[in-house]
Amino acid sequence: MSLPPLPLDTFEDRLREVLRSRVEFIELIGEDLAAAGGKRLRPSLVYLSMRLLGGQDAQAHDLAVAIELLHSASLLHDDLLDNADTRRGRETAFRRFGNVVSVMSGDYMLSKLLVLLGNLPDPGAAQALTRAFGETAAAVCEGEVLQFQVAAYGEYSLEHYLDIIRGKTGVLIELAVTAPALLLRAPHAHLEALRTFGREYGLAFQMQDDLLDLASDEATLGKPVGGDLHEGKATYPVLLLLDGPDGPEVRDILERRASRPEDVERVRTLAAVHGVFGASRQEIARRSRLAVQALSVLPASPARERLESLAMLETQRVK
């Protein structure tokens, strides 16, 4: 049995409806969000999880929109913090409209998702989801600040790295797959299975992004490689190098934010010499397998197969 198409057109319509505002600048930023499209990974995960648990697509629309609003608000804030010029090939909101408009538009999105959650018909589920969204938003903020703290103090460690990428990516993917379980009051075992899937898939996803930032090339990525080094971020392959014989040299490069023209290529060379790209791919594959294994307690279905495929595709994704 094949999986029917996900209702992403309906999702896009609902997203536009929720983002309507009488204030033109907010409306324009909302329209940019709706028009940007992209993979819509997180909304897709909401629909797949809902189907896996036996729910209906119609029950998932507002959850999918709420997830995307939280994700998009974090991106508006991230672009400002990172002083980014573009996002998906378009000028960032704060470049177009200024800092205040960008930040307040992100806050507007957070406010709108609270309204969506408050309008859910089951008060108990609404309370559980509001708590989950609040905890996720807090984790995103902690991950972002921890990333700056680690770079500032040079406190590079695997523990910190995993905390950062869970806050950066993992918690939103966890929320996308567990929100339907909270809405449907699914059995605890199913909720925890989806939570584990989301955590491991989210970590694998961000680790693959981080690996590509160093191991790929500009033509494939669509942007220069080594961006994380320029920001003083020690990703998984770099952490492996820090633990090796060339660790002091790599730490120096990190601490000067790869400011010399040869720095990024030097780290890439060391990574190839010490085999850390291969070791990173093995860790990503391990996380992906853990995600797939977590779903074994749920009934086999086309939705489960799609979720499993998404997790295993991380080992092959090139951008």
Q: Which of 117, 133, 149 is the last residue of a domain?
A: 133
Structural domain contains residue 94: yes
CA distance 250 to 268: 11
Structural domain contains residue 47: yes
* Residue 111 and residue 127 in contact, taking contact as beta carbons nearer than 8 Å: no
Predicted TM-score (pTM) of the model is 0.95
Q: 236 and 122: one domain?
A: no
Structural domain contains residue 153: no
Q: 191 and 318: one domain?
A: yes
List the CATH number of the domain containing 272: 1.10.600.10
Written as six digits, the tokens of 26 are 């907010």
Backbone angles phi, psi at 316, to 5 degrees: -120, -10
Structural domain contains residue 140: no
* Residue 208 and residue 187 in contact, taking contact as beta carbons nearer than 8 Å: no
Rounded to 5°, the CA angle 186-58-19 comes to 110
Q: 129 and 24: one domain?
A: yes
Structural domain contains residue 192: yes
How many other C-beta atoms can be found within 10 angstroms of the C-beta atom of residue 180?
28
Q: What is the pLDDT along the chain (319 residues), one digit of tens a residue?
A: 789 999 999 999 999 999 999 999 888 888 877 776 668 999 999 999 999 999 999 999 999 999 999 999 998 888 777 777 776 667 777 777 778 888 888 999 999 999 999 999 999 999 999 999 999 999 999 999 999 899 999 999 999 999 999 998 999 999 999 999 999 999 999 999 999 999 999 999 999 999 999 999 988 987 889 999 999 999 999 999 999 999 999 999 999 999 999 999 999 999 999 999 999 999 999 999 999 999 999 999 999 999 999 999 998 888 8
Run of H or E residues at 64: helix 57-82
Residue 62: is it exposed, middle or buried by C-beta count within 10 angstroms (0-12/13-18/19+)?
buried
Q: 194 and 314: one domain?
A: yes
* Residue 60 and residue 47 in contact, taking contact as beta carbons nearer than 8 Å: yes
User: How many Cα atoms occupy the beta-carbon half-sphere of 137 within 13 Å?
Assistant: 22
Q: 124 and 192: one domain?
A: no
How many other C-beta atoms can be found within 10 angstroms of the C-beta atom of residue 88?
11
Q: Which of 102, 133, 164 is the last residue of a domain?
A: 133
Which amino acid makes up residue 311? Answer: A
Structural domain contains residue 252: yes
Run of H or E residues at 40: none
CA distance 165 to 161: 6
Q: Write the DSSP symbol of residue 4.
A: P
Q: What is the pLDDT of residue 27?
A: 87
Q: What is the pLDDT of residue 89?
A: 65
CA distance 67 to 70: 5
Q: What is the pLDDT of residue 37?
A: 62
Q: 198 and 316: one domain?
A: yes
Q: 210 and 310: one domain?
A: yes
Structural domain contains residue 149: no
Q: What is the pLDDT of residue 196?
A: 98
CA distance 11 to 288: 27
DSSP string, 146-207: HHHHHHHHT---HHHHHHHHIIIIIHHHHHHHHHHHHHHT--HHHHHHHHHHHHHHHHHHHH
Q: 317: left (phi > 0), else alpha (psi -120 to 50), else beta?
A: beta
Q: 237 and 305: one domain?
A: yes
* Residue 88 and residue 36 in contact, taking contact as beta carbons nearer than 8 Å: yes
Q: 120 and 207: one domain?
A: no
Give whole-number Cα distances, 53 to 67, 142, 168, 276, in Å.
18, 31, 27, 39
Give the SS3 label for residue 79. Answer: helix
Q: 52 and 115: one domain?
A: yes
Number of domains in the chain: 2
Q: 191 and 114: one domain?
A: no
Q: Which of 133, 153, 171 is the last residue of a domain?
A: 133
Q: 223 and 309: one domain?
A: yes
Task: Tell whether the torsion through CA atoms of 154, 155, 161 and 166 is positive or negative.
Answer: negative
Residue 94 belongs to what domain range?
7-133
CA distance 281 to 286: 9
Structural domain contains residue 141: no
